[in-house]
Each structure stands twice: as structure tokens, then as C-alpha cells.
Structure 1
Amino acid sequence: MKKAIILLSILFFSLFCNAQQNEFAIAENYFRNNEYEKAIQLYKKLYDKSPYNTTYLKRLISCYQETEQFLIADNLLSNKLKEKPNLTYLYVIKGYNFERQQKDDKANNLYQKALKTIDNKGSYGSIIASLFKNYNKLDYAIEAYSKIMDNNPKANYGFQLAQIHGEKGDFPKMFESYVNLVDKNENYLNNVKRFTARYINDDAENENNILFKKALLRKSISNPKDIWNDLLAWLFIRQKQYQKALIQHKALLARNPDNLGRINELGKVAFENEEYETAKECFDLIIEKTNYPSDKFKAINNNLKIAIATKQPDVEEQFKAIFNKYGVNQKTIHTQIAYASYLTFEKRNPEEAEKILEKALTLTKSKFFVAHIKLKLGEVLMFTNKFNKALIYFSQVQTKFKDHFLGQEARFKVAQASYFKNDFKWAKAQLKVLKSSATQLIANDAANLFLTISDNEPKDSISSGLKEYAKADLLAFQNKNEEAIVVLNDIITNYKGQPIEDESLFKQAQLFAKQKKYDDAILNYAKILALDKEGIFIDDVYYQMAELYNNELNNPEKAKEYYQKIIFDHANSIYLVDARKKFRKLRGDIVN
């Protein structure tokens, strides 16, 4: 019997809660649609049932205010305060009711009364502060939060204070609040980075960047901690000042050897941004100080990538020196793969590369190492036009790693090899799977190649130029850019007015840019615009032209012109956010 009563009680309580939720949802809908009279009826009913629900009370008062029923609102609040004088947050609501009537003196008297209750250690301090913030009484909100923290050193409303200072445009105090927040509790570090990132950018001379840096430096002097080095390094990385970031990370490394991981990440970022000197310094530190062989060899390989990227004359000797020092064994598998890639694509010696990779297969039983070797071996074979043999290796990896990113990469290589050998039907079948199931980078590459094939497939045995384009693509893959440009020239001449024309112009422009022939690239992009200003490449063309003018040709006015075209004419473009940010920076705005 008791169990039945309990179950019935739970059921009735659940039904009551659901009914209240439904009524509140309907009332909120009325409120959002400015149907305040209808909302009043429901909020009043809800408030009568739950008289201590602050949300219902505030909404009901707001409805009275919107319908200019200020006296009813005031009477409701006064009666509530007589009944429960400890509900001191009601002074703020009552004060705001007077402010809506432009009775500022009465309003301010009540606001001050609410603040005094915080000094008396009233229990509603946070609600009072929150109400001030919601009513846009920002100075009062700052005072309220400050009083709470003065009365209780354990209380931490740094985020709220920082946000209010930001809303007021008082950025020095905002950054100071964020820094103080981390000073009190380092667990807030990532949140502070996230919120601060809204106000700073990659310009070291931006006023907000300078203000944040000053706040950090002041705090690092008054209260030295590792966390300030961390935040300074983070700021310098955002400003692309990688050498300065490295100085901060070195300071941390001197106190904590575990900081090597961050130095490794910095090295990768510096490498991606072609700051090779700083990147090498990072990787050299890893090689010198790490206790993990895998990290050491990754750093060694990254240094070799730098040597190749900077076209150092002794790259081959550097590879051989590593093999002499560490041996040709499982430890240096990735170095062997990198060496094979260098021999193939830089030295045009795929035969030697193939021997190195075939030997590497005998040095390891790790299925992951074997997969990496086979993927590279397939690429080397594609370089020599041995597509069928390459497909065997790619297919083996694809079968072994069905749901792994290695399997996805292998499937893309299968599609690529099939495309190069003009088996467009099979290539499309592989790409169709990858478009939706692969990692983002592979999915993008797959989607682009799928569209190239789909848009240009021959119809009724009439040549569309796709075979010639695939040949040019293969030559570009083989790093034979001059030959690829010649083939693309022939396509542009022989297939005028066909879909392949603008695709060939775009591909050729990219190769020109790679060769630093920026004027030729711009000319090609202009030809695409002349062909069809509504074509599928238009936002790509605008963005690439803007980037060339901005980064290579030192013509910010032209860059702004093309970024602006994306902003106003291509709102759905994947480049929109980046274009808007770069346009505003060129215009001199403070970009958050």
C-alpha cells in the first residue's frame, strides 16, 4: 500500500512539473512575440504556484513594465518584501521598475540599498550582481561582484567582472580581471585563453594585444609563476612571433622537463608557417633532451623536412649521416620513407627509392610501419607510371585498415592511381565512399577530384579533355611542373568553351604561383573571371587573387577589393570568415 502511495505521489508530481514546463514554454513564446497581456496570465498563474521562482517573478514584472503597469509591479514587489524582507535582490528589481518610469533617484536609492545588504553578508549577493548585469547597470554589477569577493576571499567572479569590463569597453581592466582569475586558480587557464582570443589577433601592434601583454608582464613581476610564461608563449604564437614564444617555453623547460611537448608543438606550427630557423631550434631541443626514442626520430625527420624545404645542398649527406649514426633498422623506418620520398620527388631517382622501401619492408613486423612503407612505395610506383603495381600496394593497406585513417588514405590513393590511368569509373566509385566517411582533409581532396571527374567526363565518346587534364595532374604530382603547364596550355587552346577550360586555367595558375610567377597566376585568374563570373571556381579565384595581392605582390588595395567580393557576393563561401577577417585587418579595424 505504501509503495502504491509513493508511486502515485511521484506520478502526480511528474505530471505537475510537465504541466508547469508546458505553461512556461507557452508564456515564453507569448513574451518573445510581444504578446504581454497573454503572457501575464500564464506567468501570474506560474508565480502563484511557485512564489519563490525568481524567473517567473522577473518575467511577470517585465510584462507589467512593457504594458506600463508599473504600479501593479511595484505593489507586487513591495508585498513580497514585506512578506520576505530577506529577499534583498528584490530591491534591484524594484529599483529597475522605478528606472523604467524615469524616477532615477528612487531607483538609485534602492540599488544602493541592495549593495549594502552584500556588506551585511546577505545570501543573495550573486543574484543581486547578476540582476545588475542583466539590467545593464554595469558599474553597479562591478561593485556588487567586488563586494562579494572582498567579503569572501574564496569567491571568484573574475569571469563575470572581465566580461562586464569588456562590455564597457574598458579593456585594460578586462585583461587584468582575466589575469587575476588565473592567478587565483590556474584551472581557468584554457577558458581565459578562449575568452581572450575574442579580443586579440595576429597583429603584435594591435592595442588589445599590447594591453594583454602588459597585464601579463605586470603580474609576472608582482607574482612570478610558470603560468605567465605559458600565456605569453600563447600570445606570441598567435602573433606569429615564434622565436619569442620559444624563449618563454625555454624558460618553462628550465623548470620543468615535461615542457618538451609544447616545444615540439611550437616547432610544428613554426614549420607550417615557414619559420624554419625557429622550427629547427625547437626540434634540436627535442633531439638533445628527450628520453623517448620515437620523439627523437620524429624531430630528426622534421629537421630533414626543413632541410628539403630550404633546399639545403647537403640534404642527401644529412640522411646518410643519420643512417650511419642510428643504423638502417626499425628505429629509422620513417627516416627511410622520407629519404625514399626525397630521392623520388626531388632527385628524380625512383629506382633507388624503390630499393630502399623494399628493404625497409624486411626490417619490421609492425603492421603500421608496413602500411606507411607500402603507401610510399605505391607513390614511387605512380611516379614511374607503374599504376597496376601501385594499386596492389594501396589495396593491401586499404584491406588491412578498413576503418582506420590509413585505410582511407589508401582508398584515396587507389582512386588517384585509377584517375591517372584514366579508369575514371573506378576512381569515382572510390571517391564517392570517401566524400562522406573520410577524415576532413581526405574528404575534401576526394570531393574535389570527384567533381573534376564528374564535371568533365567524356560523353558519347567525344573527347572532353579529361584524359589530358589527368596527365597534367600526374605531371604536377611528379613535381614536373613545367611539363604540366605545357599540357594545360594545350587543353586551354584545344577545349575552349568546355568545362575543362576554367579548371585548367585554375590548375595552371596554382602551378605559376608555386613557381613564384605571380603575374602569370593573376592573368589566369582574370581569364577565369572573364569566362564566367558565376562559375564554380569564382570564390576560389577571388580568394587566391586576394591572397597573392596581400602576401606576395604588396598591393593591399587590390587584396581588399577581392576579399570584399567574397564578403558581399559569396556569403556561402568557405572563405567568408577568413576573407572578412583579412579585409578588416587591411582596412585598419581592430579585429577580434
Structure 2
Amino acid sequence: MKNLFLIIFLIISNFSFGQELQMEDDQNTFFLAETYYRQGEYEKATQIYKKLYDKSSFNTTYLTRLISCYQETDKFSIAENLLKERIEKNPTQTFLYVYLGYNFEKQQRNELAKTNYEKAINSLNENASYAGIIGRLFKNYNLLNYAILAYEKAMETNENADYNFQIAQIYGEQGEYKQMFESYINLVDKNESYLNLVQRFASKYITDDPESDTNILFRKTLLRKAASNPKNEWNILLSWLFAQQKDYGKALIQEKALYQRNSGDLEEIYDLGKIAFQNKDYQAAKDCFTFIDEKSALKEEKIDANLYLAKIAIATKNPETEILFQNLFTEFGKSQQTIELQVEYADFLTFTKNEPLQASSVLEEALTFAQSKFDEGRIKLKLGEVLVFRGLFNKALIYFSQIQTQLKGSEIAQQARFKVAQTSYFKGDFEWAKAQLKVLKGSTTQLIANDAVDLFLRITDNEPVDSIPSGLKQLAKAELFAYQNKNEDALEELSTLFSSKEILPNGLVPGEVIYDDVLFLQAKLYIKQEKYDEAILCYAKIVAADNQGFLTDDVYYAMAELYHYNLNDFEKAKEYYQKIIFEHPSSIYLVDARKKYRKLRGDTI
């Protein structure tokens, strides 16, 4: 009996092994055929595909390739006979009519092609399960209208079938955006779980310009749907659309409507407020966080919202900011829960009120509440910044190094590394600064990576060559003064760069890149001092010297913003926004410039 089992086991093992060898051999053969096919050697490919198809006639990949080879070598009759033979043997496989129809179309026998395409589509009345493969074949042959008909026929026949996603993609390829958006929205209407998928695919056509045709179509389609069949999903999509367009106030209206229906979840409004804050729409951000503060019953949510309200007060130079902080500490106290609020207060004391010693005391106290390495890291990072402000570089570097050691790989550690580079730059240690910045250029945090690249280029573009002073040390020293709010000292340091060199009529020194950076910093300092005419003169000098126009759109946008928001000279602002629109159509400022230009002109946005 044991011998019998052994024999059976060996037979099965040999059979399985033989099957594996055969499959491997077929795969290698198919790979060779594919190589010939892609190289256009259709005769050689035909012979191999024919052998593979004869062994596995159920394999549609072999069939498709074989038919294609016959068509590429003008053997349409052989392809036709093969397909008819297959249909006769398997009349239920109605997708074969698509192959047959396309074979006739290749011969320009269009009526026969049409007849077979219609047979494939009409067959869905009896068997809607083939809609997927029939629609896909039509799409592969670029017969997009037939593909849509097939999918629509299947949905008519089977109410559980849903091919709106495939239909939407086809409309997108055809440029029929109205129908595309309707199909996407119908998909969500049938199944709410497709909401994120629709957002992802619709985002390919949505821009940050509310006046773009696709944005308008998407908005109108959603509004029509919302009017006829109200659902939370339409508010979610409208909020998402308005956020893409940076219309955060309108997005908040949608989020409030959702909150009224689903009271209790404020997370989306919080996220919207953060995005609005990052994009400097402080009024919309304030509205978001005020709403959270009013509606939330959770202390943690109220603290988070008020932290951003404090940030907004600082950014908008609210004279009541100090009182706001004191009221918040009275309401929420000083504890582990309010560490971020304490850190923000220290930042305000240092960089707004010029009170770094008091800020250090606030942070030393905050360290006593820290319950994790991350809490400690956030506090030490700010302590280091305050110490740099005070000119205590070595002590600051110790804090930054501690963070890098204790929180390796974290975002806070990367921020600390950038602070090491920045502090080294301020000290004039450019080689060490570059070494840190090289590592940070590949940072996973885009903002840190961008800052690192910006500083790295500023150093490498302006380094001394052959021991000839380039002015980089003076620029770094001026930037340190600016960091410390010593604006007059910074301007005086920058003035030495001009007075010590030969100066051209436009106020620039010939042949040295550094003066673009000098003039940009000068303009920034003049704006802080509200000396707007002097700032505009700096920008004008950059344009005059920038022969290849690398910086022109940056300067025009800065000038337009100055005229718009600081000088209230709307005609001048329009002039410079218009320069970007017509002279720099590939500028990153184009959409924003166009929107602001239209608003100043009085258009209804």
C-alpha cells in the first residue's frame, strides 16, 4: 500500500513539474513573440502567436495579438475566418463581434463594421456581464462613442451595473467636459464611496482659476445636482472646488452647511482654516477658527483654534495681540496642553515686541511642562531661534544639535538642521552651512526643501572666487540684522556694498550676481519701514539690470502688490498685474495676477 501511495505521489509531482515547465516555456515563447511584435516583425510574431493560440484558444491575449498581426500584414480574410469560426463555436462570446467589426473597418468596409459593432452592443440586452470587455475593446480601438453606447446599454439593462466612471474618462479624452463631470457626479450619486476617487480624477481638470471653463462647468453641474437632489456630497465637492480656487470664504459656507446637518465634526473646518492661513487669507482663516471656538465643547479643539487666532493676530499686526495672549492663558492656563500657545507667545515677544529675554523665560517655563521628546523639541527649537536673535550662536547651535540627536528623521530634526545652516550662514561659516543644506535639499517636507535650496543657491551663486571678496559676508550680516529686527543696521551694512565698488548709472555694480539679492533685501527692509517709494526704486533697479528677465515677473508682482495693498494706487497695481498677464504668460503669478487685475477692473468674479 505504501508503494502505491509513493507511485501516485511521484506521478502527481512529475505532472505538476511538467506543467510548471510548460508554463515557463509558454511565457518565454510569448515574450519572444511580443519582442517581434513591438519591433514590427509581424510575420515572425504571427507564427509564434499561432502556435500559442492553437494550444490555448481560450486566451484572448493570444487571439488579440494574432488578429492584429494578420491585420498588419493585410491578411484580413484569415482574421475574418478565424473570428467567425470562434463565434460559431462560442456564440455567447459576443465581444468577438467588436474584433470582427474592426477587421472590416480596417478594410474600409464600414457598413459591415457598423453591423458587427451593433451586434456586440445589442447582445448586452441578453448578457450585460460582457459590457466591461466590450466597452474596453471599443476604447482600445479608439471607438469611443461605441464604448459609451455599450456602457450605457449595460446600465439600462442592469440597474446594478455602474459604468459612469469609464464613461467619464472617455468624455474627458474627447474633451466633452460637461458630460464628463455629469458622469462623475452620477457615479457619486449612485455610490458615495467614490467621492475621493472622483475628486482625484476631477482634479486633473480643475485649476486655481475660478474663471476657467472647466471650473465653471464643474460648479454649475454640482449646483444643478444640489438643487434637484440635495446631498452632503455636493457640499463636500463644492467646498473642495472653492478650496482649489482659493475661495476659502465660499468653501467655509459649504462646510458650515455640512456642520448644521452633521453637528459635531469640525475637523474639515479646521483643515480649511489652516489652508486659508497658509495662503494668507487671514479673514477666511479667522472665520473658520472663530466658528470652531464658538461651536466646540472640547478644550483641545478650542485651544487649537485659538492658537491660530493668535497667529492671525500677529500676522495682521493686531494691536490687541498681547491682551489676546494673556486672556488665553487666563482661560486655558499654562500646561502641557498649551505648549504650542506658549511657544507662539515667545515668538511674538521676540520677533514682534523685541523682548527676547522675556521670551526665553517663557520657554524655560514651558520646558517644565514637556512630557515628550517632541514637546521638548518644539520648545528648544524656538529657544534656539531666540538665542540667535540675541546673538548667542554657540548656545543656539547646542539646542539645534540636541534636537537632531534626540529626534532623528523627524520633521522637527530637519527644521533644526536648517536652523544650523542658517545660523552658520549668519556667522559667515558658508562651507558648514552648505554641508547642512545639501542634506536638506532632499527633505520630505517641501517648505524646508525649498528654503534649503534658496539659501544654498544664494551662497553658491555669491561665494568669493580666488579670494576676491564678493560681498557675501556683508549680505549675511545684513540678513542677521534683519532677523534681529535691526533694520537700520541692516540697511547700513548693505549700503557699504554699494559705496565700496564702482557703481553704474542704474545703481548696480557690474558683473556681480549678489546685487540682485542685496536689492531684494533692501526692498523688504524698506517695506517693513513703510518706505514704499524706496522699495519700488530697488525693484526698478533689479528690472533694469536683469537683462535676461529671470527675475522680472517676481519684481512686477511685488510692485503690483505694493501699489495694491500699501499705496492704494490701483491704476499702478493694474499696470503691473497686466505686465505679468501679457509679458509673462508662464509665470507662477499669472493666475493670481489675472484674478486681482479683474477685480480691480471691476469684473464680477
Q: Per the shorter chain, which TM-score range?
A: 0.7 to 0.9
* 1:259 alignment partner, SS class: coil
Aligned twin of 2:413:
407
- The structural deviation recorded for 1:205 is 3.2
Task: Please give the residue correspondences for 1:234-249 in structure 2 after superposition, counting only pairs within 5 Å.
Answer: 234-249=240-255
Tell me how far apart the structure 2 counterparts of residues 549 and 74 of structure 1 sit (CA, whole Å). Answer: 70
- The structural deviation recorded for 1:510 is 5.8
- Report Cα offsets for 1:290-329 as digits up to 9, x if no partner: 3443332121110011111112221111111212222233
The code of the aligned residue for 2:76 comes to F
Whether 1:500 and 2:514 are equivalent positions in the alignment is yes
Farther off after superposition, 219-228 or 242-251: 219-228
The code of the aligned residue for 1:303 comes to L
- Report Cα offsets for 1:481-514 as digits up to 9, x if no partner: 5543443343355464345344434544665677
The code of the aligned residue for 1:78 comes to K
Tell me how far apart the structure 2 counterparts of residues 440 and 563 of structure 1 sit (CA, whole Å). Answer: 25
Contact 1:397 1:406 in 2 (8 A): yes
Tell me how far apart the structure 1 counterparts of residues 591 and 41 of structure 2 sit (CA, whole Å). Answer: 40
Aligned twin of 1:113:
119
Aligned twin of 1:463:
469
Aligned twin of 1:355:
361
Whether 1:88 and 2:94 are equivalent positions in the alignment is yes
Tell me how far apart the structure 2 counterparts of residues 124 and 308 of structure 1 sit (CA, whole Å). Answer: 63
Tell me how far apart the structure 2 counterparts of residues 587 and 197 of structure 1 sit (CA, whole Å). Answer: 25
Farther off after superposition, 92-101 or 269-278: 269-278
Which of 558, 566, 575 is the matching residue for 2:579? 558
Contact 1:509 1:524 in 2 (8 A): no
Change (3 A) 1:520 1:53: farther
Contact 1:159 1:177 in 2 (8 A): yes
Task: Please give the residue correspondences for 1:94-173 in structure 2 after superposition, counting only pairs within 5 Å.
Answer: 94-121=100-127, 123-173=129-179
Tell me how far apart the structure 1 counterparts of residues 88 and 34 of structure 2 sit (CA, whole Å). Answer: 29
Change (3 A) 1:208 1:451: closer
Aligned-residue identity in percent: 51
Aligned twin of 2:269:
263
Tell me how far apart the structure 2 counterparts of residues 500 and 243 of structure 1 sit (CA, whole Å). Answer: 41
Tell me how far apart the structure 2 counterparts of residues 470 and 204 of structure 1 sit (CA, whole Å). Answer: 41
Contact 1:488 1:504 in 2 (8 A): yes
Q: What's the TM-score once normalised by structure 1's chain length?
A: 0.87
Aligned twin of 1:322:
328
Tell me how far apart the structure 2 counterparts of residues 362 and 122 of structure 1 sit (CA, whole Å). Answer: 69
Farther off after superposition, 345-354 or 3-12: 3-12
Contact 2:303 2:332 in 1 (8 A): no
Change (3 A) 1:558 1:6: farther
Task: Please give the residue correspondences for 1:278-427 in structure 2 after superposition, counting only pairs within 5 Å.
Answer: 278-427=284-433
Tell me how far apart the structure 2 counterparts of residues 582 and 16 of structure 1 sit (CA, whole Å). Answer: 63
Tell me how far apart the structure 2 counterparts of residues 489 and 25 of structure 1 sit (CA, whole Å). Answer: 71
Which of 517, 523, 545 is the matching residue for 2:540? 523
Change (3 A) 1:457 1:238: closer
Farther off after superposition, 135-144 or 449-458: 449-458
Tell me how far apart the structure 1 counterparts of residues 9 and 488 of structure 2 sit (CA, whole Å). Answer: 85
Which of 62, 75, 79 is the matching residue for 2:68? 62
The code of the aligned residue for 1:339 comes to Y
Change (3 A) 1:41 1:227: same
Q: Can you give the 5+ residue segments of structure 2 that lack an aligned partner in the other structure?
A: 1-5, 502-508, 565-572, 599-605
Q: In angstroms, what is the RMSD of aligned CA positions?
A: 3.1
Change (3 A) 1:450 1:170: closer
Aligned twin of 1:181:
187
- Report Cα offsets for 1:444-500 as digits up to 9, x if no partner: 333433444445445665433222121022123234455434433433554643453
Q: How many residue pairs are counted as aligned between the two chains?
A: 570
- Report Cα offsets for 1:343-362 as digits up to 9, x if no partner: 21112222222222222223
Tell me how far apart the structure 2 counterparts of residues 401 and 123 of structure 1 sit (CA, whole Å). Answer: 55
The code of the aligned residue for 1:473 comes to E
Tell me how far apart the structure 1 counterparts of residues 176 and 400 of structure 2 sit (CA, whole Å). Answer: 59
Farther off after superposition, 29-38 or 258-267: 29-38
Tell me how far apart the structure 1 counterparts of residues 342 and 83 of structure 2 sit (CA, whole Å). Answer: 79
- The structural deviation recorded for 1:375 is 1.4
Which of 16, 22, 29 is the matching residue for 1:16? 22
Contact 1:492 1:505 in 2 (8 A): no
- Report Cα offsets for 1:197-233 as digits up to 9, x if no partner: 2222223333322322232223223332211111111
Contact 2:128 2:157 in 1 (8 A): no
- Report Cα offsets for 1:406-453 as digits up to 9, x if no partner: 222222222222222223343344334434466443233334334444
Change (3 A) 1:423 1:73: same
Change (3 A) 1:195 1:435: closer
Tell me how far apart the structure 2 counterparts of residues 585 and 108 of structure 1 sit (CA, whole Å). Answer: 49
The code of the aligned residue for 2:27 comes to Q
Farther off after superposition, 412-421 or 501-510: 501-510
Tell me how far apart the structure 2 counterparts of residues 427 and 508 of structure 1 sit (CA, whole Å). Answer: 23
Tell me how far apart the structure 2 counterparts of residues 330 and 438 of structure 1 sit (CA, whole Å). Answer: 28
Change (3 A) 1:196 1:586: farther
Change (3 A) 1:232 1:122: closer
Q: What's the TM-score once normalised by structure 2's chain length?
A: 0.85
Change (3 A) 1:112 1:584: farther
Change (3 A) 1:60 1:556: farther
